[in-house]
Amino acid sequence: ITMRVCLILLWIRIVVQPHILQCKAVQVFPPVNLTLTVSALAQVLLSWKPSPDQEQKNYTIRYDVKILTPLFEEYDTMKTHSFRTAVLHNGFSAHVRTLLLHKGLQVTSDWVTAELQPPPGAENTAVTGLSCVTHFTVSSTVSLHCTWLPGEGAPEDTEYFLFYRYETYTEECLDYIKDKWNRNTEGRFSVTHIAPGEIDELIVIHINGSSKYAAIKPFQQLFNQNAIEKVNVPRNVTVFFEQDDLVATWEKPLSAFPEGCFEYEIYLINLKSGNKQVSKTYLHDFRLRIDVTCRYSIQIRANHHMCSVSGFWSDWSEIVYIGKYYICLLFFVTKYLITQIPLFSVLQKKTRTILRASV
């Protein structure tokens, strides 16, 4: 046993020793001049320089980056800069260190840190309850509409300003709706640079403000463009009876997404019984065995689940009625008379006989 332990120890020495030597020979210096620059709304450029003391020869140098706030993120890169999209109203901080790779070995430096302070502003002056919706319009562009509440601590004279950024394009809103204090609480862009039909691109919203009495804290939020799209209503809804089936057909909503992207809900009410049912389908038609002597109302709505995160359901399409009400009513009244009034019990028997005869 002693022999074997010795052998193992010897083996470890042989394998490990050259590495130790190499590590000792190589010094790894942290990067220098790490800077954070706000390069666009909710966008930071991190940049740094390799340490002038760092030997470059024959080593692969990479950098480990750790974003600490507002959201933790870790990655490594060979470049000496990177862009990050993040809300900045609570500040931003990051660590970077040098990572030296040589013959399967990794040696790291100490971290260097940089941070952006939150922008100034008095407590509770930032907007709250921000919500935004986009629409795909008939002109094949995207409109954007946002609403918010003034911060509880915002003076009455506060004026809020809404901006959006999409990729490299930034625009300020010019069309506002105001609350009773004359503060902007809604903003609209009837046309934007948001590309319709893109998947998972971000829309950056930035709202800042000014007041004579306080510094107003800015507020930012990032939205997935697909998640805030209010889908348009399905078009050309047609409903008819085919033998004992109710059949509904429709066409996909006005949208940049192709047909296969949509899920539909069909809301069917039997106006005789009051029965309501909601069915789902990925097709563009719907068929249901029903009592064709009754009257029904049908509405259809759409969402684009299949191709992206789901947006807001479309409104329900206009109500389409089918079936003749009076037949239903006649059936209902006869049934009521037959079952409820004793005088008609004879009639009931006769009716039954007639019914049986007719079957």
Query: Which residues are near ligand NAG by CB under 6 A?
Result: 32-33, 41, 49, 52, 57-58, 161, 163, 208, 210, 235-236, 251
Between 105 and 354, whose beta carbon lies closer to ligand NAG? 105
Residue 55 Rama label (left phi>0; alpha psi -120 to 50; beta): beta
Instruction: For the beta carbon of residue 164, count every other beta carbon within 10 angstroms.
Output: 25
CA 220 to chain centroid, in Å, comes to: 15
Counting Cβ atoms within 10 Å, is residue 57 exposed (0-12), middle (13-18) or buried (19+)?
Answer: exposed
CB of residue 291 to ligand NAG, shortest distance in Å: 29
Least separation in angstroms between residue 254's CB and ligand NAG is 8
Closest separation in Å from C-beta 355 to ligand NAG: 42
Q: Which two tokens stand for residue 131?
A: 């919500």
Q: 245 vs 251, which CB is nearer to ligand NAG?
A: 251
Backbone angles phi, psi at 214, to 5 degrees: -155, 155
Q: How far is the CB of 168 from ligand NAG (least distance, A)?
A: 14
Helix/strand/coil for 10:
helix
Please spell the DSSP secondary structure of 169-219, one letter per residue.
EEEE--EEEE-TTS-EEEEEESS-SPPTT-SS-EEEEEEEEE-SSSPPPPE
Cα–Cα dist 255/35, whole Å: 43
Write the DSSP symbol of residue 320.
E
Q: Which is nearer to ligand NAG, 270 or 299 (CB)?
A: 299
Closer to ligand NAG by CB, 33 or 273: give it.
33
If the CB atoms of residues 74 and 123 are measured against ligand NAG, the closer one turns out to be 123
Closest approach of ligand NAG to the CB of residue 279, in Å: 22
> CA–CA distance from 144 to each of 189, 229, 230, 255, 314 (Å)?
5, 9, 10, 15, 16
- In the bound complex, what is the minimum distance in angstroms from residue 40's beta carbon to ligand NAG? 9
φ, ψ (nearest 5 deg) of residue 141:
-115, 175
Shortest separation between residue 208's beta carbon and ligand NAG, angstroms: 4
What is the C-alpha to C-alpha distance for residues 119 and 134, in angstroms, rounded to an integer? 28
In terms of CB distance, is 234 or 323 closer to ligand NAG? Answer: 234
Question: Which tokens sit at 251?
Answer: 């066409």
Nearer Cβ to ligand NAG, position 206 or 272? 206
Q: Please, is 104 exposed, middle or buried when counting C-beta atoms within 10 Å of its C-beta (0-12, 13-18, 19+)? A: exposed
Write the DSSP symbol of residue 261. G
DSSP bridge partners of 83:
45
Q: Give the chain's largest Cα–Cα span.
A: 112
Given the complex with ligand NAG, which of 113 and 210 has the nearer CB atom?
210
Minimum CB distance to ligand NAG, residue 159 (Å): 8
Q: How far is the CB of 161 from ligand NAG (least distance, A)?
A: 5
Name the residue nearer to ligand NAG (CB basis): 89 or 272: 89
DSSP three-state, residue 51? coil
| Alpha-carbon gap, residue 239 to 320, rounded angstroms | 7
